[in-house]
């Protein structure tokens, strides 16, 4: 069966160039980057090249990049790190209501330790108002953490404005930029960021590798202990092949980003328009202008998202009901609820996320199938049937 | 055509899936898809997990919907090469099975959650999901048989060939529409044969022990479950205390709530009478539990409600049948009359022991399930 992959926000395929770059670091160049000898030096050189590639992608200095196991670790390291290092007696964090669980659950863990957290709401646009962030700041605020691109609906947060506010109030500013890095321009200077999380596997790199940008002078308490790696910021033998893959993926993203973004946005728009036209009673969540080029989150009324995703998969098309991390959960998505979708709409929502390797032919193939699948689900929905009766009478 | 097989991670449903999957391997129809219903989150009531202190911790054995069972089902599906998905029915299950289960006990009844689950979830919600994903037929690992009877144009529900494992008692609520869509691949097999097939096919769960208890009550202690559930719901357990009385109305002891008792119960009454005493009657309104000799447990008549007729039976029809009043009961001869409002009256030829409100009364004509309903009241 033909397979089409429209779940690039969950993960992306490793680019062939990335895979080739990683290959030598398993069997031939297997040294430990901390070793003194030649083997170690080969590995060290590769890690440092990757550091330059990543730093370059987000306009940071190389000594401000620490490698981690991925986005979740970077988020934990940044948030716990800053808050635990803060000296004040009472501590406060400002976040948004639509953060990824890697941030949300970390904040909730802090709350159990007595830290106060304000979850700033967003309107139906899915974009936070910087003024609301500013209003949430208190004298004891230790950290502002605002994601760049939302993973479920793709909306972009005004980091530049929030960065200015953070600077004015002298509060550390972190962003989970896992979904945006490599897809749209990310500049830690322009955004005024002190900390930024990124992950390799969202930009055609390997799983299990990521990085945390830490502005020089930012004090973090480390999550783990065990060695002096990564300037005492993250102990553990470096995942050399993974880091090399991340570096190569960053380099490719920088080279192709502008072209990719325009092309992918056009494909996404074609898919979205085709669905809105082909499936009655459908609507898109969040601001359609200020969002990632890759993502559309569409609600097909009277359709159960779970059944839709399975029915699509049985026809070879991969999409999702939302974050892969919360698949199987009963609760409607916190993001969709936050942007004002009703629980029924949230349960009817499907996320399609395209990537560098998506093609127009794939979009058209999916568009030929989606209306039939939607009709198949609606034909067995008692609510949909009742609605039809209601319309006639 | 596509067929959805319900996979619990146990040996029965895994073997059912394996028998059907042979079709996939041969590229034939139907195409088989494995689905696991996530019904209940065991982590919701942590006080029930391993807190018994008697070694009967929930994780010691496979329990429905534990992460282990989903893991097993997924492993079997991968082994068989089936497309496989977990579908979440937790909220529907709580609404349609767990809450009615608790409320039934609070009314002094003894419910059969598995029958309710079959009617409301496995053959209703599951069929709906199957249709959503394009599967027109479903299969489960139940021990029962479905047969199309061409003379009447109706589907019949029959007992399984394995009389010990027969689960037709729990399936009395199936409608014609549901029966028409359902396959029971194990209906013609004995449990031994099923195990043998599972071993021969090297299924990863071939030697997994059978589950015994109600799936969402991890330790088998329903009283603790009800307590924990009501606590979680923030429902104040108002004092439900009452009296335990003898047949002639003498007060013998106090009890903490009728939900802790079932008709025919002998253990845990806390009364020293010098002879065995049994719960013979439960009056939820007066909060009164009556106890008496074993001979007082026998009743001749019952009224069933919400009766489902699998055979075409009209109001006013009356017929001889063998009636089963709990899963472990040997069906007894009775006259059954279909009443209005979905009720039926059953008069046994011989009085039956411990006829219990809340249990199902299922009417058999030989192999065939004619219909069944919930025992609403019991008469002498």
Of B60-74, B160-174, B345-359, minimum mean pLDDT range:
B60-74
Determine, for residues A380 and B2 on separate chains, whether the beta-carbon distance falls below 8 Å.
Answer: no
Question: Each residue's pLDDT tens digit in chain A (393 positions)?
Answer: 899 999 999 999 999 999 999 999 999 999 999 999 999 999 999 999 999 999 999 999 999 999 999 999 999 999 999 999 998 889 999 999 999 999 999 999 999 999 999 999 999 999 999 999 999 999 999 999 999 999 999 999 999 999 999 999 999 999 999 999 999 999 999 999 999 999 999 999 999 999 999 999 999 999 999 988 888 889 999 999 999 999 999 999 999 988 889 999 999 999 999 999 999 999 999 999 999 999 999 999 999 999 999 999 999 999 999 766 555 556 789 999 999 999 889 999 999 999 999 999 999 999 999 999 999 999 998 888 887 665 544
| pLDDT (0 to 100) of residue A389 | 65
Closest approach of A328 to chain B, Cα-based (Å) = 6
pLDDT of B221 > 90? The answer is: no
How high is the pLDDT of residue A390? 59
Of the residues A213, A232, A253, which one is the last residue of a structural domain? A253
A168 and A294 assigned to the same domain: no
pLDDT at A257: 87
Q: What is the CATH number of the domain that holds A308?
A: 3.90.1150.10
What's the whole-number mean pLDDT along residues B194-209?
94
At a CB cut-off of 8 Å and minimum separation 6, what does B49 contact? B42, B43, B57, B58, B59, B218
Q: Is residue B238's pLDDT more than 70?
A: no
CB-CB under 8 Å, B83 with A313: yes
Residues on chain B touching A313 (C-beta within 8 angstroms): 83, 85
**Which amino acids of A are annotated catalytic?**
325
- Count of beta carbons in the 10 Å neighbourhood of residue A90: 12
- CATH architecture classification, B300-379: Beta Barrel (2.40)
Q: How far is A66 from chain B (nearest CA, A)?
A: 35
Span B2-200: which CATH code?
Answer: 3.40.50.620
* Sequence-ordered list of residues with C-beta below 8 angstroms from that of A61, at least 6 positions apart, any chain: A55, A216
Strand B278-283: give its sheet, edge to edge: B251-255, B242-246, B288-292, B278-283
Is B65 assigned a catalytic role?
no
Of the candidates B49, B70, B47, B45, which has an alpha carbon nearest to the alpha carbon of residue B60? B49
Provide φ and ψ at A145, rounded to 5°.
Answer: -125, 120
- Three-state SS for B81-147 is CCCEEEEECHHHHHHHHHHHHHHHHHCCCCCCHHHHHHHHHHHHHHHHHHHHCCEEEEECCCCEEEE
| CATH code (residue A88) | 3.40.640.10
Specify whether the CB–CB gap between A223 and A80 falls below 8 A: yes
What is the DSSP code (8-state) at residue A217? T
Domain covering B239-292, topology = SH3 type barrels. (2.30.30)
Distance CA B140, CA B121 (A): 13
Q: Tell whether B134 is within 8 A of chain A (Cβ).
A: yes
Query: For residue B333, with 0-12 CB atoms within 10 Å meaning exposed, 13-18 middle and 19 or more buried, which class applies?
Result: exposed
Q: Do A310 and B90 touch (CB under 8 A)?
A: no
Sort residue B50 into left (φ over 0), alpha (ψ -120 to 50) or beta: left
CA A263 to chain centre: 20
Pick from A169, A238, A193, A168: which is nearest to A59 by CA?
Answer: A193
The verdict on A281 and A238 lying in the same domain is no
Taking an 8 Å Cβ-Cβ cutoff, which residues of chain A contact chain B?
A: 304, 306-308, 310-311, 313-314, 328-330, 376-377, 379-380
Compute the distance between CA of residue B96 and CA of residue B101 in angstroms, rounded to an integer.
9
Name the 3-class secondary structure at A241. helix
What is the DSSP track for B163-231?
TTT--GGGGTT--HHHHHHEE-TTTTS-HHHHHHHHHHTT-TTTTPPPP-S-TT-TTS-HHHHHHHHHH
DSSP of A248-287, one letter per residue? HHHHHHHHHHHHHHHHHHHHHHHHHHHHHHHSSSEEE-S-
* Structural domain that includes position A318: 4-10+256-392
Mean pLDDT of B57-85: 78
Matching residue, tokens 């006259």: B335
A105 token code pair? 């659950």
When pLDDT is cut at 50, 70 and 90, the band that residue B63 belongs to is low
- The Cα-based distances of B77 to A119, A344, B81 in angstroms read 41, 31, 6
- For residue B62, pLDDT over 50 is answered with no
pLDDT of residue B56: 44
Token output for A164: 């200015």
Extract the tokens encoding A363: 């979009």
Does the pLDDT at position B59 exceed 50?
no
Q: What are the domain boundaries of chain B? A: 2-200, 239-292, 300-379
**Number of domains composing chain A:** 2
| Contact residues, chain A, for B69 at CB < 8 Å | none
Residue B65, pLDDT score: 60
The conformation of residue A320, written as its DSSP 8-state character, comes to B
CA A3, CA A316: separation in Å to the nearest integer?
Answer: 4
- Same domain for A242 and A271? no
CB contact under 8 A, A330 and B33: no
pLDDT, tens only, B90-100: 989 999 999 99
Q: Check whether residue A279 and residue A304 sit in a common domain.
A: yes
End-of-domain residue from the set A199, A227, A253: A253
3-state secondary structure of B16: helix
Q: Residues A22, A43: one domain?
A: yes
Query: CA–CA separation, A346 vs A267, rounded Å?
Result: 24
Between the alpha carbon of residue A172 and those of residues A60, B73, B119, B246, the distances in Å are 16, 47, 56, 74
C-alpha torsion angle, residues B340, B341, B342, B345 (rounded to 10) = -50
Report the distance separating Cα A132 and Cα A122, nearest Å. Answer: 9
Residue B369: pLDDT band (50, 70, 90) is very high
Nearest Cα of chain B lies from the Cα of A316 at a distance, in angstroms, of 11
What's the pTM value of the predicted model, to 2 decimals?
0.89
The answer to whether residues A25 and A65 belong to one domain is yes
Q: What DSSP line would sit under A23-38, residue for residue?
A: THHHHTS---TT-SSH
Of chain B, the percentage scoring pLDDT greater than 90 comes to 65
Phi, psi torsion values for B79, nearest 5 degrees = -60, -40
What per-residue confidence (pLDDT) applies to B260?
A: 86
B260 touches chain A (CB under 8 A): no
Peptide bond into B105 cis (omega under 30): no
Q: What is the DSSP string of A148-206?
A: SB-TTT-BBP-HHHHHHHHHHHT-EEEEE-TTTBTTB---TTTTT-SEEEEEGGGTTS-
- Based on the domain organization, do A246 and A285 belong to the same domain? no
- ∠ CA A186-A192-A194, rounded to 5°: 95
Measured distance CA(B39)–CA(B95) in Å, rounded: 11
Do A29 and A54 reside in the same domain of the chain?
Answer: yes
Same domain, A360 and A263: yes
The 3-state DSSP class for residue A392 equals helix
A153 with A281, same domain: the answer is no
Question: Of A204, A231, A253, which one is at a domain's C-terminal end?
Answer: A253
Tell me the CA distances in angstroms from B99 to B95, B116, B117, one per residue in order: 6, 11, 12
Backbone CA torsion sign across B292, B298, B299, B305? positive
Convert the pLDDT of each residue in B273-288 to its tens digit: 788 899 999 998 889 9
Same domain, A75 and A201: yes
Top-confidence range, A254-258, B179-183, B230-234: B179-183
Token output for B346: 């059953």
Q: Is there a contact between A269 and A293 (Cβ–Cβ < 8 Å)?
A: no
Put simply, whether B132 touches A (Cβ < 8 Å) is yes
Tokens of A192: 């005024």
In the predicted structure, residue B57 carries a pLDDT above the cut 50: no
Nearest partner of A305 among A152, A168, A98, judged by Cα: A152
In angstroms, how far is CA A25 from the centroid of its own chain? 27
Q: Write the burial class of residue A129 (CB in 10 Å: 0-12 exposed, 13-18 middle, 19+ buried).
A: middle
**Interface A-B: count of C-beta contacts within 8 A:** 40
The A295-300 sheet, strands edge to edge: A282-284, A295-300, A349-353
Residues A247 and A262 in one domain: no
Look up the ipTM and state it: 0.86
Query: Searching chain A, which residue's CA lies closest to the CA of residue B88?
Result: A328
């Amino acid at each position: 069966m033909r397979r089409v992959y429209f779940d690039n926000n969950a993960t992306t395929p490793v680019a062939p160039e990335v895979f080739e770059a990683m290959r030598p670091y398993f069997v031939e160049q297997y040294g430990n980057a901390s070793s003194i000898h030649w083997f170690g030096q080969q590995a060290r050189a590769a890690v440092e090249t990757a550091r330059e590639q990543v730093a370059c992608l987000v306009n940071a200095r190389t000594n401000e990049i620490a490698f981690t196991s991925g986005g979740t670790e970077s988020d934990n390291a940044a948030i716990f790190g800053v808050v635990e290092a803060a000296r004040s007696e009472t501590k406060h964090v400002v976040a948004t209501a639509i953060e990824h669980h890697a941030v949300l659950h970390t904040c909730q863990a802090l709350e159990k330790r007595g830290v106060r957290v304000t979850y700033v709401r967003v309107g139906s646009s899915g974009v936070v108002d910087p003024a609301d962030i500013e209003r949430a700041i208190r004298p004891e605020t230790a950290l502002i953490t605002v994601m760049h691109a939302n993973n479920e609906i793709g909306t972009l947060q005004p980091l530049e404005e929030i960065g200015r506010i953070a600077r004015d109030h002298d509060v550390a500013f972190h962003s989970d930029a896992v979904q945006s890095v490599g897809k749209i321009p990310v500049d830690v200077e322009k955004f005024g960021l002190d900390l930024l999380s990124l992950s390799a596997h969202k930009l055609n790199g390997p799983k299990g590798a990521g990085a945390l940008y830490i502005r020089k002078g930012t004090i973090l308490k480390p999550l783990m202990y065990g060695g002096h790696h990564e300037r005492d910021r993250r102990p553990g033998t470096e995942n050399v092949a993974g880091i090399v893959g991340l570096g190569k993926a960053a380099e490719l993203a920088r080279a192709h980003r502008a072209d990719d973004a325009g092309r992918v946005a056009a494909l996404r728009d074609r898919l979205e328009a085709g669905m809105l036209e082909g499936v009655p009673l459908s609507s898109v969540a969040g601001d359609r202008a200020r969002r990632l080029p890759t993502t559309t989150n569409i609600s097909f009324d009277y359709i159960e998202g779970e059944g839709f995703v399975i029915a699509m998969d049985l026809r070879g098309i991969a999409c999702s009901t939302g974050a892969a991390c919360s698949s199987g959960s009963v609760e409607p998505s916190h993001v969709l609820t936050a942007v004002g979708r009703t629980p029924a709409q949230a349960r009817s929502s499907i996320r399609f996320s395209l990537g560098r390797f998506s093609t127009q032919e794939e979009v058209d193939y999916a568009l030929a199938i989606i209306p039939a699948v939607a009709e198949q689900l609606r034909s067995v929905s008692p609510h949909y049937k009742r609605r039809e009766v209601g319309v006639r009478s | 055509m596509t067929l959805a097989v319900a996979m619990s991670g146990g040996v029965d449903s895994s073997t059912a899936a394996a028998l059907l999957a042979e079709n996939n391997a041969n590229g034939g129809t139907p195409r088989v898809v494995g689905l696991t219903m996530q019904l209940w989150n065991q982590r919701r009531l942590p006080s029930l997990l391993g807190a018994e202190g008697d070694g009967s911790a929930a994780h010691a054995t496979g329990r429905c919907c534990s992460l282990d069972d989903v893991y097993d089902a997924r492993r079997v599906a991968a082994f068989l090469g089936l497309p496989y998905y977990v579908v979440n029915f937790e909220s529907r299950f709580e609404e349609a099975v767990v809450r009615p289960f608790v409320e039934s006990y609070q009314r002094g009844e003894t419910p059969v959650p598995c029958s309710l689950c079959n009617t409301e979830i496995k053959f209703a919600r599951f069929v709906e999901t199957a249709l959503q994903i394009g599967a027109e037929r479903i299969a489960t690992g139940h021990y029962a048989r479905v047969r199309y009877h061409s003379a009447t144009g109706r589907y019949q529900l029959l007992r399984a060939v394995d009389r010990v494992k027969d689960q037709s008692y729990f399936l009395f609520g199936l409608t014609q529409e549901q029966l028409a869509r359902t396959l029971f691949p194990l209906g013609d097999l004995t449990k031994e044969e099923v195990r043998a097939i599972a071993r021969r096919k090297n299924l990863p769960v071939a030697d997994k022990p059978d589950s015994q208890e109600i799936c969402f009550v991890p330790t088998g202690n329903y009283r603790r479950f009800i307590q924990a559930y009501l606590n979680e719901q923030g429902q104040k357990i108002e004092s439900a205390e009452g009296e335990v009385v003898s047949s002639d109305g003498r007060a013998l002891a106090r009890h903490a709530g009728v939900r802790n008792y079932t008709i025919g119960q002998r253990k845990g009454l806390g009364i020293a009478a010098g002879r065995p005493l049994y719960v013979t009657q439960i009056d939820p309104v007066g909060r009164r539990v009556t106890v008496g000799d074993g001979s007082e447990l026998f009743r001749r008549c019952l009224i069933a409600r919400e009766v489902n007729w699998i055979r075409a039976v009209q109001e006013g029809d009356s017929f001889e049948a063998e009636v089963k009043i709990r899963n472990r009961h040997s069906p007894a001869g009775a006259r059954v009359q279909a009443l209005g409002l979905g009720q039926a009256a059953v008069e046994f030829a011989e009085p039956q022991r411990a006829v219990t409100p809340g249990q199902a009364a299922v009417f058999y004509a030989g192999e065939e399930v004619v219909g069944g309903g919930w025992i609403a009241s019991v008469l002498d």
